[in-house]
Amino acid sequence: MPRMLSHFDGPLRRPWPWVGLVALVAALLPAVPIDETRYLTVAWELQHNDGFALLTLNGRPYLDKPPLLFWLIGLAWHVCGHSIWAARMVSLAAAAGTIALLGAIERRLIDGGHHRPLAPWILLPFVLFDAFSGSVMFDVPLCFFVAGSLLALIHWLRDGHAVAFVLLFACAALGMLMKGPVVAVHLIGPILLSPWWNAPHPPRPWRIGLAVAALLLSCLPLTWWAASAAAEVDHVPVFETLRHQAFGRVTDSFAHRRGPYWYLLLLPPLFLPWILWIRWRPFAHGARAAGRDPRMRFGVASSAVALLLFSLISGKQLHYLLPLLPGASLILAAIVNAQPETIDHRRPAYAILLATVACAWPVALAWSGRNEHAGWLPTAVAAFALLALAMFVSARRYRGIETTSVASLCIVVALLLQLGAVLRRSPNVDDLAGYVRDLRQRGVPLVALDDEPGMVGFLARLPEPLPVVDAADAARWATENPEGIALIHGGKSQPPAGALLVVKLADGWEGLVPAPIVRRGDY
């Protein structure tokens, strides 16, 4: 056994290939409403539009987000075919790239040497990072471009190479096209605090000034896109397009408006699973000893400043903090390097046992004849295989940050699979999409009410969006189309009793409602 385990050292030399385990989440779990299904529909409609600049949702202009994610999804579909799995590969590739870039950042901060990077291994099993690495969302690709910008920034401030300046501009510009000027929130701290974190190599002031200039210039491609999109929509100025998609949903947010301390309350879940493996007394000693470590200082500059700025913004979601995790990983890497006893490498073994029990529960329900749990069996098999791998890795005599990271990743992915299997309960969004596709093929009049969030556009593979009817005109449409059916997204109220198919959602419900019910307004 020891000899067999010794052959496992090779895969533990590089952390980024282990992201491939998250591909199980991308491959086995259905599309998650509402955000993921919405973005899939926007990307699907872009494939059928004449231009490449104007994004649409249900055939109407969609100006909330920049276009880069949807362009990349279109490229993935062109190569791999139209599937959820192919669209999710964009985030998965960005996750692997982020981990590889973080290793390069750490090596540059500590000037290479014989130190093996620790931060990439620490980033690898973060629950939030892995959960969004297997989904169609903006945050993990944004992590990649922020990490690329940070690496270019370090090289520019220390060496002054023109290539580093160009890469800083390019990565920041692509980040802007991914999620708007929020990129500046992640980069302004490392730029302005560079004399502090780069104390052994104080940057020249003109390099700091040019770094700020690169950040400002990186808005130009985003402005070009906004102008191109606004030109295709009547009565929508370019400035309004930029303001809405860049700032409107965060500074004037109604859907996600929360207080300034909201993020502080959610920091413990953000740092799972490492917060469970930390010994707090060695952690405190390590934090004091690592005070001058450039990894510690750069991590604080790139995460603490952004956390403060995000706390001052009204619109808050936990996944907005994903690009802070590379900086947090650098901080923990500096602490672990100064005090290796900070991490208790035995604790994941107990978590493996608990996760095994959690994964066995739906299997037992399925074998007992509970048909609603039968669909959980494939994910349960994958989860058990992952937990077996975690036990195998944990059994090695050498227990370090690499083995703990891989074992933790296996546990996290296994639990994500089981958690995601809940989405397969019947009826689900796939059932709703299939029903819509069947009704359309039968020629039944179909419309979507104006607040429908594009739930089935991609999943039903609609060649054109459903006609959209404003709520004020719904009764008139129902009178003119008594055999018609409306796709309605409801709030916290109960769905109507006569609905043909209803899917329960976190924020309410979505279902197909016959015209007579729509005419009466009973929804």
CA angle 169-232-226, nearest 5°? Answer: 20
Query: pLDDT tens digits, residue range 81-98?
Result: 999 999 999 999 999 999
Check whether 254 has a pLDDT greater than 60: no
pLDDT tens, position by position, 173-197: 999 999 999 999 999 999 999 999 9
Lowest mean pLDDT among 4-8, 52-56, 87-91: 4-8
Q: Is the pLDDT of residue 423 over 70?
A: no
pLDDT of residue 39: 97
Q: Contact 219/181 with Cβ under 8 angstroms?
A: yes
Place of tokens 């699973």: 273
Query: Smallest Cα–Cα separation from 178: which of 228, 211, 139?
Result: 139
**Contact, 23 vs 29, CB < 8 A?**
no
Predicted pLDDT of residue 3: 47
Predicted pLDDT of residue 373: 53
Residue pair 418/362 in contact by the 8 Å Cβ criterion:
yes
- Per-residue pLDDT tens for 291-300? 999 999 999 9
pLDDT at 237: 65
Supply the pLDDT for residue 395: 79
pLDDT band at 368 (very low <50, low <70, confident <90, very high): low
Instruction: Select the more confidently predicted residue: 313 or 135.
Output: 135
Compare 476 and 258 and report the one with higher pLDDT.
476
Quote the tokens at residue 435.
Answer: 């029903």
pLDDT band at 243 (very low <50, low <70, confident <90, very high): low
User: Tokens in use for 89?
Assistant: 């590969």
Of 488 and 507, the structure prediction assigns the larger pLDDT to 488
Distance set, CA 508 to CA 36, 79, 429, 472, 486 (Å) = 16, 36, 13, 21, 17
Query: 259: which 2 tokens?
Result: 């207080």
Picking from 147, 375, 408, 474, the residue whose alpha carbon sits closest to that of residue 273 is 408
Confidence band for 376, pLDDT divided at 50, 70 and 90: low
The whole-number pLDDT of residue 472 equals 85
Average pLDDT over residues 21-46: 92
- Mean pLDDT in the chain? 88
- Compare 314 and 279 and report the one with higher pLDDT: 279
Kindly tell me if the per-residue pLDDT of 247 is higher than 80. Answer: no
Report residue 162's pLDDT band, with 50, 70 and 90 as the boundaries: very high
Q: What's the pLDDT at 407?
A: 95
pLDDT at residue 7 tops 50: no
Q: Which residue has the higher pLDDT, 423 or 223?
A: 223
* C-beta neighbour count of 13 within 10 angstroms: 9
